[in-house]
A = this chain, B = another copy of it.
């Protein structure tokens, strides 16, 4: 009753039958007599038998577990994504093994090893921003452990990924501001090193040219995403010979820094100076002075899609065993959302 859980062996012993019969009975194998089956099931529930998954894992070579490695669990974007991953995996009866890399490439490598040893069936990864080599992920192919990347994806060929394209959203954002009558639109962009920075810039330029306006490079300034950096960037924009009446910021954090600073400069937010941002923070809806609109990146959806893809891979790889010829490349288009006040 107490101590060790019941095993199939014990059930067999009590009933005076063999373990294989018990196993088959519990799985409704057709070759087991109806009466035996009933007896076994009855006793199983009585003893509250639960199969030992670790034994099944060993036997089957599958763990029904997926590993998730992402940079920072406490960031709003990722916590939303992990929530989606867990939800989706749960529905398919998979379990989630979780780890965070803290953007540390060395730790990331260790985590991959750990996941491999735990024999996860597949892996969901958002790579650290400092990660330069992806060999540790590539190695997994040898072991038939599929990897699906999401949001922060490595720039290598032949991978499955889900990502959000910032360009469309940015075009929408700029167009939105143009439609509202703004003609001088600034952008506080991210560091040059990030892919997302390029996408935003491209979107900005496309939106301008599409509306037959000429693109003024001095209206896009880089920023290291800190509060200080944001203030510096805003100063730069406000002192530009063409002073913007609206600004697109790299993300919500930057937007809030900028808004806070602008208020200190006695600028009337959304009157004198309008903001549009990229949604990282759900909290934005609780606040008073917020960007007029945000480019939504759908973290929940990204997590969900990525998990779905992984599930699909897991259920279809068994047959082939070798590298797939086709790769999932899902791009979720970012989308402008007007923030309700």
Contact = CB atoms under 8 A, between A and B. Distances in A.
Interface residues of A, number: 57
Contact of A58 (B58, B118, B142, B281): B58
B52 A119 contact: yes
Contacts of A83: 72-74, 100
Contacts of A73: 79, 82-83, 86
Given A95-B97, A256-B283, A287-B287, 6 more contacts: A52-B58, A52-B117, A74-B79, A74-B82, A76-B76, A97-B98
A136 to B, nearest CB: 12
Contacts of A100: 83, 86-87
Contacts of A217: none
B260 A50 contact: no
A114 interface: yes
- Select the residue from A54, A57, A87, A282 with max chain B CB neighbours within 10 A: A54
A318 B326 CA distance: 50
Interface in A11-58: 50-55, 57-58
Nearest to A62: B54
Nearest to A118: B53
12 contacts: A5-B143, A52-B58, A52-B119, A54-B118, A57-B58, A75-B79, A79-B79, A86-B98, A95-B114, A96-B99, A97-B98, A253-B286
B3 A142 contact: yes
